[in-house]
Amino acid sequence: MSPKASSENGIEGDDEREDQSQDSEEDEDEDEQEEGDEVEEDEPRLKYQRMGGSVPLLLSSDAASCIAVAERMIALGTHDGAVHILDFLGNQVKEFPAHTATVNDLSFDLEGEYIGSCSDDGSVVINGLFTDERMKFEYHRPMKAISIDPDYGRKSSRRFVAGGLAGHLYLNTKKWIGYRDQVLHSGEGPVHAVKWRRSLIAWANDAGVKVYDTANDQRITYIERPRGSPRPELLLPHLVWQDDTFLVIGWGTSVKIASIKTDQNNDTNGTHRHITMSSMNQVDIVASFQTSYYISGIAPFGDSLVVLAYIPGEEDGEKEFSSSIPSRQGNAQRPEVRVVTWNNDELATDALPVHGFEHYKAKDYSLAHAPFSGSSYAGGQWTAGDEPLYYIVSPKDVVIAKPRDAEDHISWLLQHGWHEKALAAVEAGQGRSELLDEVGSRYLDHLIVERKYAEAASLCPKLLRGSASAWERWVFHFAHLRQLPVLVPYIPTENPRLRDTAYEVALVALATSPSFHKDLLFTVKSWPPVIYSTLPVISAVEPQLNTSFVTDALKEALAELYVIDVQYEKAFALYADLMKPDLFDFIEKHNLHDATREKVVQLLMIDCKRAVPLLIQHRDLITPSEVVSQLLDSTSSSDSRYFLHLYLLSLFETNPHAGRDFHDMQVELYADYDPKMLLPFLRSSQHYTLEKAYEICVRRDLLREQVFILGRMGNSKQALAVIINRLGDIEEAIEFVSTQQDDELWEELIRQCLHKPEMVGVLLEHTVGNLDPLYIVNIVPNGLEIPRLRDRLVKIITDYRTETSLRHGCNDILKADCVNLLIKYYKEARRAICLNNEDAEARVKRDDNRASQFSERGLSMKTMEVKSKTRAGGRCCVCFDPFSIQNVSVIVFFCCHAYHLTCLEDSTHSVNGEGPAPSRDSVSYYGYENGDAEDDDEDENEGTSSGVPRMRCILCTTAAG
Can you tell me the distance from the alpha carbon of 419 to that of 436, in angstroms, rounded to the nearest whole number?
A: 11
pLDDT (tens digit per residue) in 171-187:
999 988 889 999 999 98
> Of 451-455, 661-665, 848-852, where does mean pLDDT reach its minimum?
848-852
pLDDT of 919 reads 46
Evaluate whether 464 touches 440 at the Cβ level (below 8 Å). yes
Q: Is the pLDDT of residue 217 over 70?
A: yes
> Of 124-133, 333-342, 551-560, 792-801, where does mean pLDDT reach its minimum?
792-801
Sort 207 into a burial class: Cβ within 10 Å, 0-12 / 13-18 / 19+: middle
Q: Is the pLDDT of residue 869 over 50?
A: no
Residue type for position 496: P
Evaluate whether 422 touches 443 at the Cβ level (below 8 Å). yes
Cα torsion through 718, 720, 726, 728, rounded to 10: -170
Say how far residue 535 (Cα) sits from the centre of its chain: 24
Q: What is the 3-state secondary structure (H, E, C) of 443-509?
A: HHHHHHHCCCHHHHHHHHHHHHCCCHHHHHHHHHHHHHCCCHHHCHHHCCCCCCCCCHHHHHHHHHH
Distances (CA, A) of 628 to 573, 597, 653, 712: 20, 12, 17, 28
pLDDT of 29 reads 52
Tell me the mean pLDDT in the region 341-348: 90
Cβ count near 429 (within 10 Å): 8
pLDDT of 707 reads 87
The rounded mean pLDDT for the chain is 80
* 428 CB-near residues (< 8 Å, 6+ apart): none
Tell me the mean pLDDT in the region 457-471: 88
pLDDT band at 420 (very low <50, low <70, confident <90, very high): confident
Q: Is the pLDDT of residue 585 over 90?
A: yes
Tell me the mean pLDDT in the region 237-263: 89
pLDDT (tens digit per residue) in 432-461:
666 777 888 888 888 888 898 998 999 888
Can you tell me the distance from the alpha carbon of 162 to that of 628, in angstroms, rounded to the nearest whole number?
A: 121
pLDDT of 848 reads 56
Whole-number percent of the chain with pLDDT over 70 = 78
Q: Between residues 531 and 883, which one has the greater pLDDT?
A: 531
pLDDT band at 382 (very low <50, low <70, confident <90, very high): low
HSE-up of residue 524 (Cα within 13 Å, Cβ side): 29
Q: Is the pLDDT of residue 324 over 60?
A: no
Q: Is the pLDDT of residue 804 over 80?
A: yes
Helix (H, G, I), strand (E, B) or coil at 175: strand
This model's pTM is above 0.85: no
Can you tell me the distance from the alpha carbon of 727 to that of 756, in angstroms, rounded to the nearest whole number?
A: 14
pLDDT of 290 reads 92
Can you tell me the distance from the alpha carbon of 532 to that of 503, in angstroms, rounded to the nearest whole number?
A: 6
pLDDT of 645 reads 92
Tell me phi and psi for residue 403, to 5 degrees.
-60, 140
Q: Is the pLDDT of residue 885 over 60?
A: no
pLDDT of 948 reads 46
pLDDT (tens digit per residue) in 46-85:
889 999 999 999 999 999 999 999 988 999 999 999 999 9
Residue spans of beta strands (DSSP E) within 265-418 = 282-290, 294-301, 304-310, 336-340, 346-351, 366-369, 390-394, 397-403
Q: Is the pLDDT of residue 137 over 80?
A: yes
pLDDT of 229 reads 81
Q: Is the pLDDT of residue 921 over 70?
A: no
Tell me the mean pLDDT in the region 877-897: 77
Evaluate whether 295 touches 251 at the Cβ level (below 8 Å). yes
Q: Is the pLDDT of residue 896 over 70?
A: yes
| Residue in 401, 309, 395 with CA at minimum distance from that of residue 66 | 395
Can you tell me the distance from the alpha carbon of 916 to that of 906, in angstroms, rounded to the nearest whole number?
A: 8
Tell me phi and psi for residue 336, to 5 degrees.
-125, 145
pLDDT of 164 reads 94
pLDDT of 849 reads 57
Tell me the mean pLDDT in the region 803-807: 86
pLDDT band at 716 (very low <50, low <70, confident <90, very high): confident
Evaluate whether 520 touches 553 at the Cβ level (below 8 Å). yes
> What crossing angle do the helices spanning 743-753 and 730-740 adopt, rounded to 10°?
160
